[in-house]
Structure 1
């Protein structure tokens, strides 16, 4: 029987794994996911690293070594994380150098969530991490906050690959495409090559429904439960197609630029009433990426159905968004709330991570 996860690629979508730790690299599990499931990239975030650090002793030695060098807890974290990212990037180099060079094979590392509202700090750290990893197939993650947008543009103009994260709303998504295109234009105007600059815009899904669904219930719109995130994503894909088929982008394309693909993030179902592969199945389509948590990937391998669904039901998507607006649900306010909470959700594990490093340091110095 053919592998269900691999079948997603038949429809032009790339599957990336939303997880990293040393164990899956040491045991050969990550290589197996590349070979058997056709996984074509990896994304990480502070919460993923916090889990890796606190659930195993794999990192203790490195933490102790960097602590002896008098490094700060932040520097210790990034020192250790960069090594993992480098290793994963080497594993994915074969994918990066596949048929179309640079189409896939990326490994993402995020700037500190504490910098989410700091343009200069974000830009500075993104450039530092890019230099530290020093791999063509790394992507630096920058949040799509208002303060993140100029940092995204600047980093694109400097030739970095950027994974734009924490994206919830359609208006902000359009601003993200603008930052990407403006960054490429700046780079091209300076006479620099734009051929290998790559970027994805990570549109977060299930969290939208977590917030909207209780409001739908209040308004007697129970039948729209679990529909708003998917409707928003389908509308985002319409924006993607419009922006990247524009005359403005065509000029860059002639110089080798690639469209900034939409990436579906937060695709694990948070509501037990939903199918555990709901968000993956609903948004399969060409020139997109889906970054999938391990348990969702395993669920899809077991019982997922791969079909070209992304451009189906666009009328329904419009209808859903119209209905919630008519019911007085302000989606812009909700997406702003999600962004604020998203920063908080990454700051918490980051603080926990630094506390775990502090604990390791104390143990090591005893």
Structure 2
């Protein structure tokens, strides 16, 4: 993988740190959408103010947007009058929002030559274990949205992996979601390489196929910290309890840094270079679930600790605003990697196998 030159110093205080993330090789995507910010111009303004380069969505985001606002009342009324079922109504609302967001990010997409400016729309979670159903829905959603900067979101499940490979071979932009372990991430990277190799063998272009692998962060700490507290309470002595509690808040960043280390290894060497020479682009790691769940941790920790080349961080709006206010932009994702390895070894010694 060719190394992009990026500055590593912290940014000056008079600069918006969100704008500096791009100089460090990281794209900021917004993990939020609702019709109101499309209607009132707020999303368009945020693209400029925060240097946003994409949007991610999921059914939960849409459920909250539809249920907790009046943005959709008129559209829902029209759909009810047409006797559309709940699933069809949801899809109609989501497709319209995603299409409009794609249009707002089209300028980013064009200026980045198809490297950024994507808006993600997820296949139904009910299809997580249905390969053919995932393929069918992905094809239908792409046709419905009909925008080149749409990215179809597919979970990296056992059934999702072959669907991901096929979609990539067919030239889809794919966001692989719900990745928590390096082992699962390796399967996703392999599916990406196989999909591109199949596409190349079929004589199809590779230069406009984009993919990100969404590696979840804060949820890992939430799960591991709960286990560490149980271990501390059951510890035979104060020293063992203190060690368990000292490891709180370390699992997620360490896990992500090891994923990035593996990414750098996979996207180098002869196999990758053959694809890159044909125009292929790396499948970027996307750090997801980056809002801080624990008040004990810095509110931008999952941004600040994972900054570096060829990465994406999708942030909820409150995290975007917090980082713009007091975030420190410095290359960190490939720093202190041996410490990350040691942290995971310590967790394993405590009985937590990542």
TM over 0.5: yes
- Within a 5 Å distance, the mapping from 1:78-93 to structure 2 comes to 78-93=91-106
Q: CA-atom RMSD, angstroms?
A: 1.1
SS of the residue 1:97 aligns to: helix
Match of 1:316 in 2: 339
- Within a 5 Å distance, the mapping from 1:188-227 to structure 2 comes to 188-217=200-229, 218-219=231-232, 220=241, 221-227=244-250
- Within a 5 Å distance, the mapping from 1:317-336 to structure 2 comes to 317-331=340-354
Of 3, 7, 17, which aligns to 2:30? 17
Structure 2, gaps ≥5 residues long: 1-13, 233-240
Q: Does 1:151 align with 2:163?
A: yes
Q: Which has the higher helix share?
A: 1
> 1:3, 1:36 within 8 Å by CA — same for their partners in 2?
no
Match of 2:120 in 1: 108
* TM-score for both structures, normalised by structure 2: 0.91
Runs of 4+ in structure 1 off by over 4 angstroms are none
SS of the residue 1:174 aligns to: helix
Whole-Å separation in 2 of the counterparts to 1:86 and 1:286: 29
* TM-score for both structures, normalised by structure 1: 0.88
Q: Does 1:38 align with 2:51?
A: yes
- Within a 5 Å distance, the mapping from 1:197-346 to structure 2 comes to 197-217=209-229, 218-219=231-232, 220=241, 221-331=244-354
> 1:168, 1:208 within 8 Å by CA — same for their partners in 2?
yes
Deviation at 1:307, TM superposition (A): 0.7
Deviation at 1:145, TM superposition (A): 0.9
Structure 1, gaps ≥5 residues long: 332-366
Q: Which moved more, 1:298-307 or 1:69-78?
A: 69-78
Deviation at 1:68, TM superposition (A): 3.5
- Count of residue pairs the alignment pairs up: 330
Deviation at 1:246, TM superposition (A): 2.5
Map Cα deviations across residues 335-366 of structure 1 (whole Å, 9 max, x no partner). Answer: xxxxxxxxxxxxxxxxxxxxxxxxxxxxxxxx
Whole-Å separation in 2 of the counterparts to 1:66 and 1:252: 46
SS of the residue 1:283 aligns to: coil
